[in-house]
Amino acid sequence: MSISKLEVSPREAAGSNAMKRLRGEGFIPGVLYGLKREPRLLQVHNDAMAALLREGNRTVELRLGGKVQTALLKDLQYDHLGDHVIHADFVRVDLAETLRIRVPIRFSGVAKGHAAGGIVEHKLSELEVECLPDRIPDEINVALMDLDVGQSIHVRELELPAGVTSPLDPETVVVSVSMVAVEAEEEEAEAPEAEEGQEPEVIHRKEREGEAEE
């Protein structure tokens, strides 16, 4: 995985009004923190952020105030429609220091067992990994084509990039295919006829917790 370069500039203003004005000028407010140093307010142009997201890299080389700082794009906040980035969090990283981070899992293909009526159950949507900042994968691909009913893919079976490991139990299930249990229909037992003059037994429905009595 390569490291993207991102031009940012210092940000002086804070507060909702200042943020609104900044976004109106085509900038995204952000913050840089980590490595036991003081946080720094920054701003990045919309076009630069869009280019970064297209590249898909999470590790970036920030050019801020004439200095270069390697950082991790930690979090993005979007507007209520989910269309536009309105805030970005960056955390400083040391390229020689191993990180523990969650990476999304991408499932590809159709499981063999699905055609046989099996249900594909995704147990994990992200995988926790350990690696150096410049080794963070964009995603972990899991191919489903050969997965049949009754089979599972475990963490130990994942093909991780060089230099990337997972601290999870190797036997942790990532995805499985199971068959829906079909219960055999029981034959209806013939109800005994009530004797003449005998009142039939009334079976009361047990009230569920929180259900109001009629």
Q: Which pLDDT value is given to residue 193?
A: 53
Determine if the pTM surpasses 0.75. no
Distances (CA, A) of 211 to 18, 22, 46, 204: 52, 53, 53, 14
Q: Which pLDDT value is given to residue 150?
A: 95
Given pLDDT bands bounded at 50, 70 and 90, which one contains residue 204?
Answer: very low
* CATH dotted code for 4-93: 2.40.240.10
- Higher-pLDDT residue of 75 and 13 is 75
Given pLDDT bands bounded at 50, 70 and 90, which one contains residue 4?
Answer: very high
CATH 2.40.240.10 location in the chain? 4-93
Percent of the chain with pLDDT over 90: 71
Q: Which pLDDT value is given to residue 72?
A: 95
Question: Is 78 in a helix, a strand, or coil?
Answer: strand
Q: What average pLDDT does the structure give for the chain?
A: 86
The string of pLDDT tens digits covering residues 166-185 is 999 999 999 999 987 544 34
Contact between 39 and 94 under an 8 Å Cβ cutoff? The reply is: no
Residues in the chain: 214
Q: In 66-80, which positions are buried (b, 16+ CB within 10 angstroms) versus exposed (e)?
A: eeebbbbbbeeeeee
Helices (H) and strands (E) in the chain, counts: 3, 13
Q: Which pLDDT value is given to residue 86?
A: 95
Mean pLDDT of 123-138: 94
Mean pLDDT of 190-203: 44
pLDDT at 141 over 80: yes
Given pLDDT bands bounded at 50, 70 and 90, which one contains residue 1?
Answer: low
| Cβ-based neighbour number of residue 7 at 10 Å | 11
The string of pLDDT tens digits covering residues 25-79 is 999 999 999 999 999 999 999 999 999 999 988 899 999 888 999 999 999 999 9
Domain 100-179 fold is: RNA Polymerase Alpha Subunit; Chain A, domain 2 (2.170.120)
* Torsion 111-113-119-123 (CA) sign: negative
Q: Which pLDDT value is given to residue 192?
A: 52
- The kind and range of the H/E element at 195 are none
CATH 2.170.120.20 location in the chain? 100-179
